[in-house]
Amino acid sequence: MTMEKPFAITLNPGSSLANKTGSWRTERPVYVDRLPPCNVQCPAGEDIQGWLFHAESGNYLEAWQHLVQDNPFPSIMGRVCYHSCEGQCNRGQIDAPVGINSVERFLGDEALKHGWKLPEPAAESGKHVLVVGAGPSGMSAAYQLRRLGHRVTVKEAGPLMGGMMRFGIPKYRLPREVLEAEMQRIVAMGVTVELGVKVDNIADTMAQGKFDAAFLAVGAHIAKRTYIPAKDSAHILDAVSVLRSMEGEDQPMLGRRVVVYGGGNTAIDVARTAKRLGATEAIIVYRRNREKMPAHDFEVEEALQEGVMVKWLSTIKQADGGTLTVEKMVLDDKGNPQPTGEFESLEADSLVLALGQDVDLSLLEGVQGLEVNNGVVQVDPLTMMTGHPGLFAGGDMVPADRNVTIAVGHGKKAAHHIDAWLRGESVAAVVKHALASFERINSWYYSDAPKTVRPQLEIARRTSSFDEVQGGLTESNALFEARRCLSCGNCFECDNCYGVCPDNAVIKLGPGKRFEFNYDYCKGCGICAAECPCGAIDMVAEES
Amino acid sequence: MNAPVKFYQTGTFTVGNRLLEADQRSVQSSEARSNSLNSGHRACQGCGEALGARYVVDAAMRATGNQLIAANATGCLEVFSTPYPETSWQLPWIHSLFGNAAAVGTGIAAALKVKAHKAGKALSEVRVIAQGGDGGTTDIGFGCLSGMFERNDDVLYICYDNEAYMNTGVQRSSATPMGARTATTMAVGAHPGAPAGQGKNLPLIAMAHEIPYVATATVADLHDLEAKVEKAMSIRGARYLHVLVPCPLGWGSASHDTVLLARLARETGIFPVFEAEHGEVTSVTKIRHHVPVEDYLKLQKRFAHLFGTPGQPEMVAHIQADADRNIRRFKLLDETGE
């Protein structure tokens, strides 16, 4: 090409784009996705970061729709879930964890307020699945199975849906209209629920109803007993019946001085319920100390604030009329309580035993291949299937910690495996991303913001009524709280890599599409990786 | 109904943020940014100056609707961007000598003024920037720059300060900090590195000219930097912007620490970030998380002789005292502590 050039100029002007500086590189940046610690922790397998992402932009409907893919009960969860996710939240190492649970409740309550609908079921599969028990596990399974296009019949022995959420969790923690609304939403999807129908023999029921598979989630409703020598006049009840009778017309007569024996969440629930029923004193007797107590610390704290008293390191030896004999204990080297031989007496109008619950397994008699250990049904932890093909189980009747969220997770997992089993397939194992650890977070970039504290009912008011103790977040508080999420390990399109590259070697693909590296020019300096707030860029050595 | 939410996850700390309104977003977050300094330039890995130059010129391009001409002093920025016959610049750009960038800028501005007058306009729509490194600005080009200031010529002069002559092999300039090792201030003797009590503070000298606008910035705070360029381009007359740009080669730092070092320079108080109009400071960027100077110094091999055994604890204390003086002088800390 010839061109008129100025004096002493022999070459045409060129662009530096001809110089591919990517050849300098010894390390290349690579975008990665990491598993956020909240998602890892969630027993129901929620994509917490995923739904918070939508909530951050105020898109609550989309956030809720994302959430209910995994858990159809956000309003219930937002009240009774122990939110162990928050304990793992990386933001906790900066200021305080994101209030995931309160945002979940806000979304759940928005859905109830606006009547948002659960997703439509897929095309009918022609299969019919039996679910035994309309508790959190059974209804979670029913929801997922129905979404997958299966016909679902739930048989529930009790008069109402909810299981332990209704007959175990007090109203001040879970208002019944919330529970009922989230249960009815599943019925509205076309799930048949038969109330007051106890399955006495699973094999007979399966055969009579021509069911293709079954999910058992009967819960653990039989109160454990312990031997306490008692005279006739002693008024001894069990926690399960006390909490269950709270649902009926006749409230239990506990008297003015109530002693609760046990250290779990149920013991706390009973003591707080007793206070609300008018007891002047509610005393929990527990054989170990507070550190060893299985009840969640925030519930212990709320109970103590309400005036519940606890006798630590004590066992009940005898009940004689209105007098209990209590022995002091000490913890040995292994943390087990040992008797001291020191006794004292405690006046009580009633004694409520909250010593755990057993499962009624009578419906399983005669089923081939089942294995029962320690009073619970053994299942394959990967599929939730029992030793009997086509018979799955979850919730409190299988080996696991017992809480609502775990039960919901069991139901979801079992549903997916039932679906695969019905099609003669197995669920492909998903390769999980590596953990998004705090060390990978560049915390400089996040605004300083303390956790929004949910309003609590005044203590005086809540001990005299069964009004809900935890209030909800307002819209602006919920938005604020959602925006505290760091998006650990997953690109949230902050444009930092795109901005900080000295070589313009990051290509912005547009909203929702993230970024791409232009390796023709990337020199591998690593600024993008160092300045990525959420740790979604790795530096990888180039092959020599 | 509800009070507006003031909290936006990363706020304006990151380059972009999907939660911000369009007018709050940075030039650099836009796919339509001009990339005035294009890919393929020969700056080292992690070059702070290449980053700073693109930040500044892209912002000036947006502020002027791409009606912009740049004059460039000799230095890294010129050498790495424009090895004959290639160039990375995507705007009219001229290089003349090491020491005369301000004078070239003045000349272009004068020519544009004449053109505007001939076209019957009071002012030229086309604007001028002149830019150079600290050597070309604080040492070699200082006379021309001071002249541009005192005549109040309509030029924005930008100094990309990497605190030494990096292009020629890391020699000391009058912007090299006390204690820093360079090829001409070796880490030997009783007072290793650059001597104390020498050098000059060009932003303060520029203020002494009482020109309309003087500002300092770093490559670690993009929104602040872009706002200052935009403000500078809204003003006619002589303006001066001093941008701290870490240099992995000359500072002996890891290439991925460039932005971190710029941030620490501000958070220690070593590099005060402020704006001044007509000789008076009008705003300062407060320190967000105050840290000791060691946090900044230890990441740089040019200060390695200050640490270890025997080290130079007195010199470190001196640097800390200077940073503390900056904090007092410019009120860099909030009264409440942070």
pLDDT score recorded for residue A324: 92
Q: How many domains does chain A contain in total?
A: 4
Q: What is the pLDDT of residues B92-101, one digit of tens each?
A: 999 999 999 9
Instruction: Tell me whether strands B213-218 and B239-244 are parallel, antiparallel or unpaired.
Output: parallel
pLDDT tier, B251 (very low <50, low <70, confident <90, very high otherwise) = very high
Q: Is the pLDDT at A467 greater than 80, yes or no?
A: no
Residue from A24, A54, A444 to probe the interface with B (highest B Cβ count within 10 Å): A444
pLDDT for B2 equals 44
Query: What pLDDT score does A84 carry?
Result: 94
CA angle in degrees (0–180, nearest 5) for B277-B282-B285:
125
The predicted-structure confidence for B310-337, as pLDDT tens digits, reads as follows: 899 999 999 999 999 999 999 999 865 4
- For residue A250, the model assigns a pLDDT of 79
Whether residue A75 lies within 8 A of chain B, CB to CB, comes out as: no
Chain B contacts in chain A segment 495-514 (CB below 8 A)? 495-496, 498-505, 508, 510-511
Q: What is the pLDDT of residue B22?
A: 83
B271, B203 contact by CB (below 8 A):
no
Q: Does B28 touch chain A (CB under 8 A)?
A: yes
- Does the beta carbon of B18 lie under 8 angstroms from any beta carbon of chain A? yes
Task: Using the CB atoms, write b or e for B128-139: b if 16+ within 10 Å.
Answer: bbbbbbbbbbbb
A210 lies in the same domain as A132:
yes
On chain A, the residues whose CB falls within 8 A of the CB of B254 are 526
* pLDDT given for residue A61 in this prediction: 97
- Give the confidence band of B338 by pLDDT, cuts at 50, 70, 90: very low
Q: Does the residue A534 lie in any domain?
A: yes
pLDDT at residue B1 greater than cutoff 50 = no
pLDDT at B263: 98
Distance from the Cα of B28 to chain A's closest Cα (Å) equals 5
Are A182 and A289 contained in the same domain?
no
Contact between A133 and A112 under an 8 Å Cβ cutoff? The reply is: no
Task: DSSP for A75-143, please give it.
Answer: HHHHHH---HHHHH-GGGGTSS---HHHHHHHHHHHHHHHTPPPPPP-S--S-EEEEE--SHHHHHHHH
Residues B56-71 have a mean pLDDT of 98
Residues A268 and A336 grouped into a single domain: yes
A55: domain CATH number is 1.10.1060.10
What pLDDT does residue B337 have?
45
Domain containing B237 — which CATH number?
Answer: 3.40.50.970
From A527, which residue of chain B is nearest by alpha-carbon distance?
Answer: B256
How does pLDDT run across A346-357, given as a tens digit for each residue?
A: 999 999 999 999
| Closest-CA distance of chain B to residue A336, Å | 46
Does residue B250 have a pLDDT over 70? yes
Which residue in B5, B35, B256 is closest to A525 by CB distance? Answer: B256
In a domain, B10, yes or no: no
- Is A436 within the bounds of a domain? no
Closest CA to B194 of B184, B202, B203, B204: B184
- What per-residue confidence (pLDDT) applies to B71? 98
Distance from CA of A192 to the nearest CA of B (A): 41
Chain B residues with CB under 8 Å of A520 CB are 39
What is chain B's mean pLDDT, rounded? 95
Residues A171 and A260 in one domain: no
Task: Please name the amino acid found at residue A42.
Answer: C
B222 chain-A contacts, CB cut-off 8 A: 499
Q: What is the pLDDT of residues A125-147, one digit of tens each?
A: 999 999 999 999 999 999 999 99
Please indicate, yes or no, if residue A433 is contained in any of the structural domains: no
pLDDT surpassing 90 at residue A528: yes
Q: Is B315 part of the contact surface with chain A (CB cutoff 8 Å)?
A: no
User: What pLDDT was estimated at residue A96?
Assistant: 87
In a domain, B15, yes or no: no
- Rounded Cα distance between A48 and A78, Å, is 13
Q: What confidence tens digit (pLDDT) does each residue in A205-263 have? A: 999 999 999 999 999 999 988 888 877 667 899 999 999 888 877 788 888 999 999 99
Give the CATH number of the domain where residue A375 resides. Answer: 3.50.50.60
Q: Is residue B19 part of a domain?
A: no
**CA–CA min distance A435, chain B (Å):** 21
Between A221 and B276, the higher pLDDT residue: B276
Pair A400, A478 in one domain = no
B24 close to A (CB below 8 A): no
Tens digits of residue pLDDT in A36-64: 999 999 999 999 999 999 999 999 999 99
Verify that A207 and A238 share a domain, yes or no: no
Q: What is the pLDDT of residue A452?
A: 63
For position A466, what pLDDT does the model report?
72
Residue A292 token pair: 């060893």
A8 within some domain: no
Confidence at residue B49, expressed as pLDDT on a 0 to 100 scale: 98
Q: Taking CB atoms and an 8 Å limit, are B40 and A21 in contact across chains? A: yes
Contact B16 A499 (CB under 8 A): yes
- What pLDDT sits at residue A320? 86
Mean pLDDT for chain A overall: 92
Q: Are A119 and A72 in contact (CB under 8 A)?
A: no
In a domain, A4, yes or no: no
Share of chain B above pLDDT 70, in %: 97
- Judge if A363 and A350 occupy the same domain: no
**Secondary structure of B12-56 in the HEC alphabet?**
CCCCCCCCCCHHHCCHHHCCCCCCCECCCCCCCCCCHHHHHHHHH
Nearest by CB: B9 against A13, A17, A446: A446
Say whether B40 and A484 touch across the interface (CB within 8 A). no
Same domain, A532 and A477: no
Strand partners, A344: A326
Within a domain: B337: no
Q: B172 CA to chain A: closest CA distance, Å?
A: 25
Residues A363, A215 within the same domain: yes
Domain count, chain B: 1
Radius of gyration in angstroms for the set of CA atoms belonging to chain B, rounded to a whole number? 20
My answer on whether A238 and A349 are in the same domain is yes
B223-246 confidence digits (pLDDT tens): 999 999 999 999 999 999 999 999
Question: For the purposes of burial, counting CB atoms within 10 Å of the CB of A172, is it exposed (0-12), middle (13-18) or buried (19 or more)?
Answer: buried
Judged by CB atoms closer than 8 Å, whether chains meet at B48 and A502 is answered as yes
Residue B335, in any domain of the structure? no
Decide: A311 and A297 in contact? Cβ < 8 Å. no
Please state which of the ranges A91-95, A187-191, B28-32, B214-218 shows the lowest mean pLDDT.
Answer: A91-95
Q: What is the pTM of this model?
A: 0.89
CA angle, B242 then B247 then B252, to 5°:
140
- Asked if the structure places residue A513 within a domain, the reply is yes
Per-residue DSSP letters for A384-419? -B-SSTTEEE-GGGSSS---HHHHHHHHHHHHHHHH
pLDDT in tens, A479-502: 888 999 999 999 999 999 999 999
Within-domain flag for B16: no
Residue B2 lies in a domain: no
In a domain, A427, yes or no: no
Asked if A534 and A492 count as a contact pair (C-beta separation under 8 A), the reply is yes
Quote the domain boundaries for residue B263: 33-330
Q: Is A374 on the interface with B (CB under 8 A)?
A: no
A531 found inside a domain: yes
Domain residue limits at A399? 128-221+359-422
pLDDT at residue A529 is higher than 90: yes
Name the residue facing A16 among B88, B248, B259 (closest C-beta): B88
Distance CA A268, CA A262 (A): 9
| pLDDT at A459 (0 to 100) | 63
Q: Which of B7, B39, B84 sits opposite A521 (nearest CB)?
A: B39
Contact B182, B170 (CB under 8 A): yes
Mean pLDDT value of segment A264-293: 93
Span A439-450, average pLDDT: 88
In a domain, B14, yes or no: no
pLDDT digits (tens, 9 = 90+) for A396-444: 999 999 999 999 999 999 999 999 999 999 888 888 999 999 999 999 9
Say yes or no for a CB contact (<8 Å) between B39 and A476. no
Q: Which of A175-179, A302-306, B55-59, B314-318 has the lowest mean pLDDT?
A: A302-306
